[in-house]
Amino acid sequence: MTSLAGRGALITGSDGGIGFAIAERLAAEGCNVVLNGPTESASTAALPDRITALGVKCAYVRADVGSVAEVERLFAAAVATVGSVDVLVNNAVVRHFHPIDEFPVAEWDRALAVNVSAVFHSIRLAVPGMKRRNWGRIVNLASIYSTRGAERRVDYVTAKHAIVGITRTAALELARTGITCNAVQPGWVLTPHAERQIADRMKTAGETREDAIDALLESRQPSGRLVTPEEVAACVAFLSSAAGAAITGTTLAVDGGWSAAP
């Protein structure tokens, strides 16, 4: 995937989990990388060194992408750091869990700001530069829940459905520009969020870790195992490469067969 050597990549929500795995993979393919998260700490300060060890430039930019002004500041910092945003990965996400009739309005508004509006604004800011260079890759992180509903998750399900709509619309508008826009649809991935689900199951059901994972996977992924962040990252890297030039407006599932199940 030598087409990525020297390109600049911005990955929102990349202070851990899937986002950081994507950053590592793109860096391994030669991308200079801008990491992002909503907070700063000793742990986030150490992240760029893990990326620069791969021989590329990297910076971490604290920005709350739920704010338009913060998204704009993030983009300015990204361009200043790596020269251009050639690969944009929209990964930042927040989650809340409430029934619709009890859903706090502030949490609904926050979810739409981070999970939907930030994707729009990121694409809006990235596209002009990509058009000038006649090259760009936009990858939006969707979810298995972009294809179905789930109780107590109306904000997340709504947002992930919207991601697919944004992806298709952007792909059509950019189809003759050298810019692609796709979505990646992970299933259940071994992330800190998944670890919390496993721990909750172990506590409430008194199960071992292995039994808790098996029980949680039983109704989800026919593969019988969790997807790894690195597997999602490999899909993003492929879509970002020269090999993905003819793929646009699609959603690729990385879900162990979950989306194939009834």
Active site residue 60: no
Which residues lie across from 253 on neighbouring strands? 185
Closest CA to 118 of 76, 163, 58: 163
DSSP 227: B
* DSSP string computed for 132-200: HHT-EEEEEE--GGGSS--TTBHHHHHHHHHHHHHHHHHHHHTTTTTEEEEEEEE-SB-SHHHHHHHHH
User: Cα–Cα distance between 189 and 18 in angstroms, integer?
Assistant: 8
User: Cα–Cα distance between 39 and 190 in angstroms, integer?
Assistant: 22
User: Cα–Cα distance between 213 and 43 in angstroms, integer?
Assistant: 28
Catalytic pick among 20, 60, 75, 156: 156
Give the rounded distance of the alpha carbon of 14 from its chain centre: 8
Inter-helix orientation angle 209-218/192-205, to 10°:
110
- Three-state SS string across 6-65, please? CCEEEECCCCCHHHHHHHHHHHHCCCEEEEEECCCCHHHHHHHHHHHCCCCCEEEEECCC
Annotated active-site positions, please?
A: 156
